[in-house]
Amino acid sequence: MEIFKITILSLQVSTIATLISLFIGLPFGTWLALGNFRGRSFILSIINTGMALPPVVVGLVVAIMLWRSGPLGSLRLIYTPIAIIIAQTIIAAPVVTGLTAAALEALDPRLQQQLLGLGASRGQMVWYLWREARLPLLAALMAGFGSVISEIGASMMVGGNIKGQTRVLTTAIVLETSKGEFGNALALSALLLILTYLINLSLTLIQQRGQRK
């Protein structure tokens, strides 16, 4: 029963964080890909660095912010699932943003001009570009989800691995390992991999069906 609870929490937390990252990363990445302004390369380089943000660094910074002594301490969010969602969103958002920008930049630049020339509004043009790039955009979503469902450092630091409250699959694996229960740790690892596989399988199926159309 405990495993069930841990698994559900892992999925909930990482799905919510990925969706928030999508709402941030899709518009922001589009703006970066289509925009033509000073500092664009600089922002892109920052985002690309952000794609490699070590979760434990994110965890540390978020923890310092959320501790009772920190600037957001009065919210009492440290060691709650919301704290994990915040940290995971910070980890996944650059991934989704960077890959969205890369996906849209890979489209033929003339497409934009043609669409606008044909009388499309800016909103219609973006919508069309997203549809055109839906395969790499789904890949961006999968990469975002993959980066958070598998991370440990941030979940451990801001979640605290509290049984029944903030224990997720990855932190449970660390715990079982530290107890010397390598069998349990391996079983949980297999569970995590199977879940990640199933989610990616369904997204891939959606992606490939989109391609055949």
Partner 1 sequence: MLDVLLPAFTEKTGYNVQLVAVGSGQALKLGEQGNADVILLHSPTAEKEFMANGFGIDRRLVMHNDFVIVGPPSDPASLRSQPTLDSVFKAIFSSASTFVSRGDDSGTHVKELALWKNAGLNPAGEDWYLETGQGQGATLSIASEKEGYAITDRGTFLAYKSNVDLEILVEGDPFLLNVYHVITVNPEKWSNVNLEGARAFADFVTSPEGQQIIAEFGVDRYGEPLFFPDADKTDEELGL
Interface residue list for partner 1 (CB under 8 A): 67-68, 78-79, 156, 160-165, 167, 171-172, 174-175, 177-180, 182
Query: Which residue lies nearer to partner 1 by CB, 22 or 156?
Result: 156
Smaller CB separation from partner 1, 177 or 204: 177
**Nearest approach, Cβ of 83 to partner 1 (angstroms)?**
10
Closest approach, Cβ 184 to partner 1, in A, equals 11
Beta carbon nearer to partner 1, 43 or 64: 64
Least distance to partner 1 from the beta carbon of 208, Å? 40
Rounded (10°) angle between helices 2-34 and 169-178: 130
Least separation in angstroms between CB 155 and partner 1: 11
Beta carbon nearer to partner 1, 24 or 57: 57
Q: How far is the CB of 84 from partner 1 (least distance, A)?
A: 14
Nearest CA among 29, 61, 55 for reference residue 43: 29
Residue pair 137/26 in contact (Cβ under 8 Å)? The answer is: yes
Query: CB-wise, 117 or 180, nearer to partner 1?
Result: 180
- Residue 159 CA to residue 154 CA, distance in Å, equals 8
